């Protein structure tokens, strides 16, 4: 069904047993977020908070909490979306399958934004920022944030909705030095369309007009995070996924999504910034306070009986994981069609997405060569690191499927994928560093904001070693509380042994450890037993806490013609450094209050 607004979706979920109404008054200061986190952890329903302390408006979260619920919400439009994306990727699809293409035409009509809607419900009343549910998510957050915003901007050189950008960039509503009801913070990261728009506006010496939409048809939220094929507008996509055209109008020169629950309009002036943050973010740490663009509030609108949509992020997986899953199910071959030779790519959610990327490519360059080694996958790796948000990858592991293999590689089976590469990797040849480069804004493993390094681990060919199934005696004898994370990968307690001492003690044993003992990687951590207890801990800690150029070492390492290699196992220093952001931690007192509330609903 085509939902005309957020409440229509929530009522549909309720009819199908997928909505929980919290009827008592709940505090937006940490309490609502804690309830959300608890329900999400239990794979529970969407939540409607009917009484939000300090606001007349209701709030909803966990709407996309499971892939199954997202698929249910978009059950009538998913196939049409896939068809249209396929046509966009491959124009010949219309020729190859004309009947299939014809069936997609009704959906294509919904892709056209409607600038003359019959009604404009979001303009029901004008309110202030202080009237909104000011939800603070984590104890160290700098204030209340919008976590499901649809941030709309236009191109100063080509104004109009046809060249507009709709993105999800967090908005700080209060706290810090912001003047309540007059100023809010606009946080956006590298490789985002809004940055291009602000640059163009700055070059013209004019403010950037910004509209922030909250709520509305759920498809609009998904559109704001969708990595679309070149030339496809987020508003086009929103209409197709919603099953109804994206309705909009202009008020005081600002674009307004008329089906949204709330709209905040305002301007960002050149070189006007204020400190934004901290904010407990989706890597599981706080993004710290930094200067970001200041948005001067023009007006705030709300529809009748509006519902404030929000989510809570933290150490993955969280609700945004389901966003990634539904997006992957829709885009299918989009990325692999964009990058020649790429068969599969997986941004690992457990590692916070950008810190770890796994990829499968092709090896077709030298079929006449008897010795197999990385060639085409190196070209593909460079293409990946130059493509959109994939370019934010910090660790890129890439290989190719052997045509004679008896099993099919799958990047979503992380342990098997790592084992495949580590068994084949030539550590003297297959490590490729990118130093002093840009990394994800939220990644604090580097020395400065947006600054760090990358590492491509590219392996292809015959098996070179059998990975260790136990911790060998040579490692046990270090008395460093060694634990096997997975075959070939061992965790050591850093408070008992540091990298320098480790290398000294194992100097000269590198080749023996790697080739005969099957130890491919040693990870230094403060809690070896914890890291080895499950793959999720390893994926999160090892790849979010390491800056490749600074924190990767190796036993019997060398530099030859500016190429770094190692004759023995790699060493990853995954300890927490002084410059790292602190991890998010729940508030014990809040958790006790949440116990009391959720006990009434069977979610204690």
Over residues 484-518, the pLDDT tens digits come to 999 999 999 998 888 888 888 888 889 999 999 99
Residue 334 binned pLDDT confidence (cut-offs 50, 70, 90): low
Distance CA 439, CA 352 (A): 13
**How many percent of the chain have pLDDT more than 90?**
69
Residue 198 has pLDDT above 60, yes or no: yes
pTM of the predicted model over 0.75: yes
Local structure of residue 97 (DSSP, 8 states):
-
Residue 165 Ramachandran class (φ > 0 left, ψ -120 to 50 alpha, else beta): beta
Nearest to 145 by CA among 199, 185, 118: 185
**How many percent of the chain have pLDDT more than 70?**
92
Q: Are 210 and 200 in contact (CB under 8 A)?
A: no
Local structure of residue 46 (DSSP, 8 states):
E
Check residues 85 and 401 and name the one with the higher pLDDT. Answer: 401
Give the pLDDT confidence score for residue 408 in this predicted structure: 87
Check residues 298 and 234 and name the one with the higher pLDDT. Answer: 298
- Domain boundaries defined on the chain: 6-315, 320-458, 473-573
Residue 368 has pLDDT above 70, yes or no: no
Give the pLDDT confidence score for residue 87 in this predicted structure: 63
Tally Cβ neighbours within 10 Å of residue 321: 20
| 139-148, 271-280, 402-411, range with the lowest pLDDT | 402-411
Give the pLDDT confidence score for residue 48 in this predicted structure: 98
Mean pLDDT over all residues of the chain?
Answer: 90
Give the pLDDT confidence score for residue 192 in this predicted structure: 65
Topology (CATH) of 320-458: UbiD C-terminal domain-like (3.40.1670)
Mean pLDDT for the stretch of residues 333-355: 84
For residue 215, the SS3 value is coil
Give the pLDDT confidence score for residue 111 in this predicted structure: 84
According to CATH, what is the number of the domain 6-315? 2.30.110.10
The per-residue pLDDT for range 92-135, each reduced to its tens digit, is 454 455 555 555 566 678 888 999 998 999 999 999 999 999 99
* Residue appearing with tokens 């609903």: 601
The per-residue pLDDT for range 582-591, each reduced to its tens digit, is 999 999 999 9
Q: Are 330 and 81 in contact (CB under 8 A)?
A: yes
Residue 364 binned pLDDT confidence (cut-offs 50, 70, 90): confident
Local structure of residue 468 (DSSP, 8 states):
P
The per-residue pLDDT for range 57-71, each reduced to its tens digit, is 999 999 999 999 999
Containing 475, the helix (H) or strand (E) segment is helix 473-476
């Amino acid at each position: 069904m085509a939902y005309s607004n957020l409440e229509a979706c929530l009522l549909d979920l309720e009819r199908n047993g997928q909505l929980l109404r919290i009827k008592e008054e709940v505090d937006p200061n940490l309490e609502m977020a804690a309830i959300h986190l608890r329900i999400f952890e239990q794979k529970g329903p969407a939540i409607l908070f009917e009484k939000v302390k300090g606001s007349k408006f209701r709030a909803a979260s966990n709407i996309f909490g499971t892939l199954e619920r997202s698929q249910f919400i978009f059950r009538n439009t998913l196939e049409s979306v896939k068809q249209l994306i396929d046509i966009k990727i491959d124009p010949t699809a219309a020729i190859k399958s004309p009947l299939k293409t014809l069936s997609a035409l009704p959906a294509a009509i919904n892709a056209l934004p409607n600038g003359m809607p019959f009604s404009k419900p979001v303009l029901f009343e004008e309110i202030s920022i202080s009237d909104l549910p000011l939800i603070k998510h984590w104890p160290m957050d700098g204030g209340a944030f919008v976590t499901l915003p649809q941030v709309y901007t236009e191109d100063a050189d080509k104004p109009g909705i046809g060249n507009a950008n709709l993105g999800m960039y967090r908005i700080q509503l209060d706290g810090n030095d912001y003047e309540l009801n007059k100023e809010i913070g606009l946080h956006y990261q590298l490789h985002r369309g809004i940055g291009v728009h602000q640059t163009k506006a700055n070059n013209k010496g004019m403010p950037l007009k910004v509209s922030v939409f909250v709520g509305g048809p759920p498809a609009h939220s998904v559109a704001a995070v969708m990595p679309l094929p070149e030339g496809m507008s987020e508003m086009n996509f929103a209409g197709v996924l919603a099953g109804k055209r994206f309705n909009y109008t202009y008020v005081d020169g600002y674009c307004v999504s008329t089906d949204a629950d709330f709209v905040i309009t305002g301007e960002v002036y050149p070189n006007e910034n204020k400190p934004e943050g901290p904010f407990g973010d989706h890597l599981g740490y706080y993004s710290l306070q930094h200067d970001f663009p200041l948005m001067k509030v023009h007006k705030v609108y709300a529809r009748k009986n509006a519902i404030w949509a929000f989510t809570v992020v933290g150490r993955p997986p969280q609700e945004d994981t389901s966003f990634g899953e539904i997006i992957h199910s829709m885009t299918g071959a989009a990325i692999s069609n964009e990058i020649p030779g790429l068969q599969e790519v997986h941004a690992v959610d457990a590692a916070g997405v950008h810190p770890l990327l796994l990829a499968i490519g092709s090896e077709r360059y030298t079929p006449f060569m008897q010795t197999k080694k990385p060639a085409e996958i190196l070209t593909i790796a460079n293409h990946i690191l130059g493509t959109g948000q994939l370019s934010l990858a910090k660790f890129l592991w890439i290989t190719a499927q052997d045509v004679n293999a008896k099993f099919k590689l799958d990047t979503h089976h992380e342990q098997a994928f790592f084992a495949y590469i580590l068994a084949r990797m030539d550590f003297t040849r297959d490590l490729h560093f990118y130093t002093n480069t840009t990394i994800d804004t939220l990644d604090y493993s580097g020395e400065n904001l947006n600054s760090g390094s990358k590492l491509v681990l590219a392996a292809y060919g015959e098996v070179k070693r059998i990975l260790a199934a136990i911790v060998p005696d040579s490692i046990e004898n270090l008395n460093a509380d060694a634990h096997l994370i997975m075959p070939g990968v061992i965790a050591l307690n850093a408070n008992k042994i540091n990298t320098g001492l480790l290398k000294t003690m194992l100097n000269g044993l590198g080749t023996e450890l790697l080739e005969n003992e099957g130890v491919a990687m040693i990870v230094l951590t403060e809690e070896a037993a914890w890291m080895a207890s499950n793959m999720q801990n390893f994926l999160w800690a090892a790849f979010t806490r390491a800056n490749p150029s600074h924190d990767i070492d190796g036993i019997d390492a060398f530099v030859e013609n500016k190429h770094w290699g190692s004759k023995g196992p790699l060493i990853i220093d995954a300890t927490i450094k002084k410059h790292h952001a602190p991890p998010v931690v729940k508030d014990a007192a809040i958790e006790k209050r949440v116990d009391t509330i959720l006990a009434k609903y069977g979610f204690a």
